[in-house]
């Protein structure tokens, strides 16, 4: 049964910055500060903080902030047989936008045991809010690896889709309310999205009993992504190529970038009847949005999408950001959504009042 919610419910795209006592700050692939049982305890302490900060900011659908993952893709891969982290290959990812040290697929892929079950159990025990888990999608995973076994991005992607589905079913049984697959690679490999990317996404999610979402954005607020976006022109047309395809997918919700971007807002209308988790917070800038600015982005989205379909989120994960900036932005997100609800309430009252 669909849960009744206020207008403009809030969530985050996924990751939040890790505290400096847990890992190197403001790094996409940080080094852990601790090891052994001390590391696990520190991860749990950081998760408590991430959940608490989201609750204080007024976030409705919270995540664990990915506090137990070194990286949003590699944190998932660490629990999969056939992926060898001792054999890393430096290669270009996201169409050679930047270089990364990628583990190697050396044999058939298999989920040796639950991957994120313990993190979900801990988060579920420490928040009464709805809980979302973020997992890398099949195409983004294969784009962040070196494949020495399948030699086929499509074949490897469907192997990962089966693993993702198995993992997600167990996480839902453990109390997760929403599953979000992160697919930034969709914004790069358009032919592959049409050829097999949507099919792999559906294979990973179809039939699962939770809110099912996919996140497609223009990347973290790191130099390589910022430089790439500068070269995309005055109007970014990537979403126009993939949104009609996502409209036909099995997902309930599409999480997207809007605030501070050059995304033409009319593309939001291309998503059919999907819910939209609209990015109202710019993760590529340290400037803290005002509630009025957040409400204005919500109003912009509402020109093309009915208000009942709009969620409010961040443009992307916030892992590489300063913690003080990230949490201030979360507070702006919550305050802006409340302001937008107040505006909607006043408008509804005025429309219902007799002339």
> Looking at residue 226, which CATH number applies to its domain?
3.20.20.210
Cα dist. 102→69, 86, 87, 109, 154 in Å? 15, 10, 8, 16, 18
DSSP 106: E
H or E stretch at 61: strand 61-62
Tokens of 157: 């992607």
Q: Specify the number of domains making up the chain.
A: 1
Q: Is residue 26 part of a domain?
A: no
DSSP annotation string for 179-214 = EEEE-GGGGT-HHHIIIIIHHHHHHHHTT-SSEEEE
Torsion angle of C-alpha atoms 139, 143, 144, 145, degrees rounded to 10: 100
Domain that holds residue 187: 36-347
pLDDT tens track, the chain, 355 positions: 356 678 999 999 989 999 999 999 988 889 999 999 999 999 999 999 999 999 999 999 999 999 999 988 888 998 899 999 999 999 988 878 878 899 999 999 999 899 999 999 999 999 999 999 999 999 999 999 999 999 999 999 999 999 999 999 999 999 999 999 999 999 999 999 999 999 999 999 999 999 999 999 887 767 777 777 777 778 899 999 999 999 999 999 999 999 999 999 999 999 999 999 999 999 999 999 999 999 999 999 999 999 999 999 999 999 999 999 999 999 999 999 999 999 997 765 555 556 5
Partnered with residue 311 across adjacent β-strands are 277
Note whether residue 330 is domain-resident: yes
Token look-up 């049964």 returns 1
Has residue 147 been placed in a domain? yes
Q: Provide the CA 80 distance to its chain's centre, in angstroms.
A: 21
Could you tell me the pTM of the whole model? 0.94
State the Cα–Cα distance between residues 275 and 250, nearest whole angstrom.
Answer: 12
On whether residue 96 sits in a domain, the answer given is yes
Tokens of 286: 């340290």
Question: Is 252 among the domain residues?
Answer: yes
Residue 173 lies in a domain: yes
* Cα–Cα distance measured from residue 152 to residue 96, given in angstroms and rounded to the nearest whole number: 18
For residue 101, the model assigns a pLDDT of 92
């Amino acid at each position: 049964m669909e849960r009744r919610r206020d207008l403009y419910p809030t969530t985050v795209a996924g990751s939040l910055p890790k505290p400096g006592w847990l890992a190197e700050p403001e790094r996409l692939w940080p080094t852990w500060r601790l090891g052994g049982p001390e590391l696990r305890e520190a991860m749990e302490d950081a998760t408590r903080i991430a959940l608490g900060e989201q609750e204080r900011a007024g976030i409705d659908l919270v995540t664990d902030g990915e506090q137990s993952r070194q990286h949003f893709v590699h944190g998932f891969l660490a629990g999969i047989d056939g992926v060898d982290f001792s054999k890393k290959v430096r290669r270009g990812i996201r169409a050679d936008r930047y270089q990364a040290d990628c583990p190697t697929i050396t044999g058939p892929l298999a989920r040796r045991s639950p991957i994120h079950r313990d993190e979900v159990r801990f988060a579920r025990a420490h928040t009464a809010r709805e809980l979302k888990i973020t997992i890398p999608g099949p195409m983004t995973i294969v784009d962040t690896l070196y494949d020495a076994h399948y030699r086929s991005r499509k074949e490897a992607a469907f192997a990962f889709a089966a693993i993702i589905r198995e993992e997600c079913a167990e996480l839902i049984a453990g109390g997760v309310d929403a599953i979000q697959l992160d697919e930034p690679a969709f914004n790069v490999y358009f032919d592959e999205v049409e050829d097999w990317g949507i099919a792999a996404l559906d294979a990973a999610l179809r039939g699962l009993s939770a809110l099912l979402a996919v996140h497609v954005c223009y990347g973290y607020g790191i130099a390589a992504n910022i430089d790439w976006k500068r070269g995309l022109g005055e109007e970014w047309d990537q979403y126009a190529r993939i949104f009609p395809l996502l409209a036909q997918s099995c997902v309930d919700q599409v999480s997207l970038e809007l605030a501070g971007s050059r995304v033409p807002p009319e593309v939001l209308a291309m998503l059919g009847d999907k819910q939209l988790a609209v990015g109202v917070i710019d993760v590529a800038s340290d400037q803290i949005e005002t509630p009025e600015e957040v409400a204005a982005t919500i109003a912009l989205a509402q020109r093309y999408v009915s208000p009942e379909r709009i969620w409010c989120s961040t443009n992307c994960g916030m892992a590489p950001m300063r913690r003080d900036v990230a949490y201030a932005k979360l507070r702006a997100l919550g305050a802006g959504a409340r302001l937008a609800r107040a505006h909607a309430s006043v408008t509804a009252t005025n429309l219902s009042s007799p002339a």
